[in-house]
Every structure is written in structure tokens, then in C-alpha cells.
Amino acid sequence: MKCPMCGYDTSLNYCPNCGTYPLEQEIIKCPKCGHENSKGLFYCSRCGISLMTYTVNDNSNLGKEKGTKDYSQKIERDEIHKKRIRSIMSILLGAMLLLAISYYIGLFNNPNTPLEHQLPQSYNAIITTKITNIDAEVGEAQLWIALPVNCGTQQNVSVISIDPEPDQIILAPKTCTKICYWDFNNSLPTNSTLTIVQNISFTANPFTTPIDSSKIEAYDYSSSLYKEYTKPSQRVEADDPGIIAISKAVVGNETNPYKKADLIYGWVVKNITYEIQEQELGARYAFYNRKGDCTEFATLFVAMCRSQGIPARLVHGYLYDSDTSAGHMWAEFYLPPYGWVPADPTGDHTTKSRFFFGRLGSNVLILSKGNVGLSTNYSEDNPFAFSYIAYYKSYNSGKLIFDNNAEIKKINS
């Protein structure tokens, strides 16, 4: 049939040339399958496609010129609408692609990434320790600094250099560290600074071992490990009456050590507020003041575990992320047959704990674990560094300022 407006020959019920609709014809041929449909059908009775490109309101009372103009305007509007939809879809698809890329990039770099997705990561660390004398000349200064070793999730440790070289390096195998020792005689005049630089490389692996609480075995109460890490120690006041009382209340009737440690962890995270301290204050301070930094969170968790018969120890090192290489302290508790299990309760009101209960990311440098013995001549009443990064003592000194930091960078594989 020819369109009465433009003369275009078509078998459809509208003119694809000028848009006039409807065209009065008895048979409407489907443009897809060729099926001949009766007049008045809007869809092909065989294949179901629309027999008209656009849904148009009844314009039987309008003149053909008016109908043509309306139809042309509708085509223009619909084309604009289609372009907008295509643009929106392109933007959405692009955004989804960027989110996917960002997710997979961040997955392996974010320390809070689910640990089953984290991979081992190699690093180079420059650890700098400075002691500045701001008062009278020091007659003698002794310095002990922890040196990382292969231990558990930390492997491939390589000491590139230590400057100046230590007088002694003593292995402390049960504490996952070596102790570097210097004895400086008359080397700290007033307003002078003593600097020690350690250059090391290492590989950190995530701790992802699943713990089945039903398979935990009984402790060997006579073992040196159990005795050592269930007793009070410096700043881990497991014998404090208040800490004992709250620990009993928190664990209640629970007897499974894994579940007891989980309850203690939850209480510390919920009840202690993160606040940076100028010095290490320990478990008792954290409990009675309800605040502290990583040292107080970790020492309180360890003290509460010990008070309930769960061996626990402190871990000292550095936490690495894209913005900082911060000194950090967390904890481990012992579960036979699994061994030492990590737990870091540190957090504040804006972030969750940096690590998780029973999990450890591949973004830490471990310097020492547990009670690190220094030497018999350090102090008769204080023979342990309890996971400190470094210790020093001096004679004839008014005041020394101690500073320790690390610059940690990833080694691309």
C-alpha cells in the first residue's frame, strides 16, 4: 500500500518514510517473518514482534498533516531518550568496571582484606633507632635492639646490614628474635645523638588456619610454656584482683579455651577506648582507666587470658599499610594442637581492630614474641624486655630521648 502522504510503498500499517500512522490496509505483512496478519493487530500472530515501531495514541480524529508532525516529534523525542539511556548505561558499566578493578587491586593491598584472599608479601625494612642525650654527658650506654628472624608466618628474613655493627648478636629462639647488643663508652656527650640503622628484607604470610574449637586438646600444665605464659609479668598484671574478677565474669561457665579467649577479646574491643599514650602503661592501667593504645589493648587481653589459664604472650613489631609503617603490639594465645594463634584487639571508635581474632594479615614485621631475656647484668629486678623493640640503660645521665621508627616498602615480585 502506498502512503497517502508521501507515496512510499509499504506493507506495514505505518509509513517508515514519513511516519504517517495508521495506514488503512486489510493485510499487514510482518517485516521479520513475512506472516500476513489481519487488520487491527499490533503484534505478529506468528513471531510476536511489534507491527508498529512506536505506540501512538489514537489520532483518528487528527488530520494527516497533524499526525505526521506529531509522529516526527515523537521519533525525535524517542531518539533523544534512547541516547540518554545509552549514555547512562555506558556510565554505569564504566563505573562497575572501575569498581571491579579497584576491588581486586585493593583486595591484595588492604590489611583488612579477608585473609583467604591475601597473598604472601615481601618487604624491605629500614629500622632506625636514635638515642639523644639532652643533659649531662653519659659515661656509659648499653643498648639492646630486637632483630627479626624466620618465625612462623615470617620467612625469608635477610639481614642486609647493621650500622654500626653490634658487639654481640644473641639468638633467643623461643621468642622469635635475635638480640643485638652495643656497649658504648663515653660516646654520648651532651646534645649528641646515637643512631643505629638495621636494613633487612623479609616475607610476611597471612595466618589463615581455621580453628575447630571441638578439636582443642588439654594443656600440659607441667610444661615450661604453660607455666611461663600463664603467670604475671611486667605490665601484664594477670594477678590483679580487678582483672581476675572481670575475666571470670566475662567467660562465665565457658570451659573451652578458644571460646574463652574469644569472649575476652570481645570485651576488650568493646570496653577499652583507643588513646595514644606517651609511655607503655600496661594491663592494669588499661583496665582501671578503660583506655590506652596498642600496648594497653594487647597487655590487657594477655593478662585476662592468663588469669583464666590460657597461655598468652605479646608480639611486638610494625604494622605496614600504604600510608604508614607504625610500631605495633598485638597478642598470641596458645591452643593445642594448633599452637600460637594471633589476636589483635586494638581499635578505636572509627575503625575496627587492625587485625582480627585468630587471624593475621601479610602486612606485619615481627620483631619479638613473649618474654625476651636481655642479659644478667641488665637489671636484677627487671630481666625481660617483654617484646619491646629496644631497651637501653645508661650511667651518669640526666635525660635521654629515645626514638625508633621503620620505613617499610614492598618488594615487587
The predicted structure's pLDDT at residue 64: 41
**Residue 228 neighbours by CB distance under 10 Å:** 14
Q: What is the mean pLDDT of residues 333-362?
A: 77
CB 164 within 8 A of CB 198: no
Burial letters 349-381, b for 16+ CB under 10 A, else e: eeeebbbbbbbbbbbbbbbbbbbbbbeeebeee
Q: Please tell me what DSSP assigns to residue 217.
A: P
| Grid cell locating 116 | 583467604
Q: What is the pLDDT of residues 302-313, one digit of tens each?
A: 999 999 999 999
The predicted structure's pLDDT at residue 179: 85
- 48 versus 235: which is more confidently predicted? 235
Q: What is the pLDDT of residues 116-175, one digit of tens each?
A: 446 888 999 999 988 887 776 666 677 788 888 998 888 999 999 999 999 988 877 677
248 to 59, 109, 261: CA distances (angstroms): 84, 39, 12
Q: What is the mean pLDDT of residues 270-284?
A: 84
Q: What is the pLDDT of residues 15-35, one digit of tens each?
A: 766 666 566 666 777 777 888
Helix/strand/coil for 314:
strand
For the ranges 220-229, 252-261, 341-350, 382-391, the lowest mean pLDDT is seen at 382-391
Residues 6+ apart with CB under 8 A from 395: 138, 139, 140, 141
Helix/strand/coil for 262:
helix
Instruction: Single out the residue of 246, 295, 247, 270 nearest to residue 348, CA to CA.
Output: 270
The predicted structure's pLDDT at residue 63: 38
The predicted structure's pLDDT at residue 158: 94
Q: What is the mean pLDDT of residues 372-400?
A: 51
CATH number of 209-358: 3.10.620.30
Q: What is the pLDDT of residues 73-103, one digit of tens each?
A: 555 666 666 667 777 777 877 777 666 555 4
pLDDT bracket for residue 375 (50, 70, 90): low
| 294: pLDDT strictly greater than 60 | yes
Instruction: Single out the residue of 299, 314, 305, 301 nearest to residue 371, CA to CA.
Output: 314
Highest mean pLDDT among 42-56, 123-137, 308-322: 308-322
Q: What is the pLDDT of residues 180-212, one digit of tens each?
A: 888 877 667 778 888 999 999 999 998 888 889
pLDDT bracket for residue 282 (50, 70, 90): confident
| 372: pLDDT strictly greater than 60 | yes
Specify the amino acid at residue 265.
Answer: Y
| Grid cell locating 105 | 587491586
Bridge partners, residue 131, by sequence: 194, 402
